[in-house]
Amino acid sequence: MNKSSDVSVTAVDGCALKVVDADRVAAVRERMPPGDDLADTADVFGLLSDTNRLKLLVALLEGELCVCDLAAVTGQSESAVSHALRLLRAHRIVAARRAGRMAYYRLADPHVRMLLDLALAHTEHTEAIHPERAGDR
């Protein structure tokens, strides 16, 4: 039997957990980002989890658009689009360029585009079961 398989770790809540690969657990814990970074990342995914905000971001994959055009593309009110863009801008997911009284929005950087492209590609080649939606049918 592997010596590391005999190692036990006591969790914060008092439950004893059996660690199968202590070296791997230690390495993963060492690479784990700080709590604040994880919270910021969770916030980004939370923003992406709203269908209406996601529609705006997918529309911006095609390039810069103003609030009016985003509203027309997504079928949302200008007010709803403005509110969503304010949130997305505060989290540096979109950026704005002013031209007189008009503001044109775009994806903030290539990382946002990459996140969207990967998420869309993932959903195109998988069939989700959606157990959380079972009561909606």
How confident is the model at residue 72, as a pLDDT? 98
Percent of the chain with pLDDT over 90: 73
Place of tokens 């044109």: 104
pLDDT in tens, 65-105: 999 999 999 999 999 999 999 999 999 999 999 999 999 99
Q: Quick one: residue 10, left, alpha or beta (phi over 0 = left, psi -120 to 50 = alpha)?
A: beta
> Between residues 15 and 127, which one has the greater pLDDT?
127
How confident is the model at residue 128, as a pLDDT? 76
Q: What share of the chain is helix, strand, coil (3-state, %, to 5)?
A: 60, 15, 25
User: Domains in the chain, start-ordered, CATH in brackets?
Assistant: 1-32 (no CATH), 42-126 (1.10.10.10)
pLDDT exceeds 80 at position 5: no
Percent of the chain with pLDDT over 70: 85
pLDDT exceeds 60 at position 40: yes
CA distances from 84 to 29, 45, 79, 88, 93 (A): 35, 14, 9, 6, 11
pLDDT exceeds 80 at position 130: no
What does the alpha-carbon distance between residue 103 and residue 65 come to, in Å, rounded to a whole number? 8
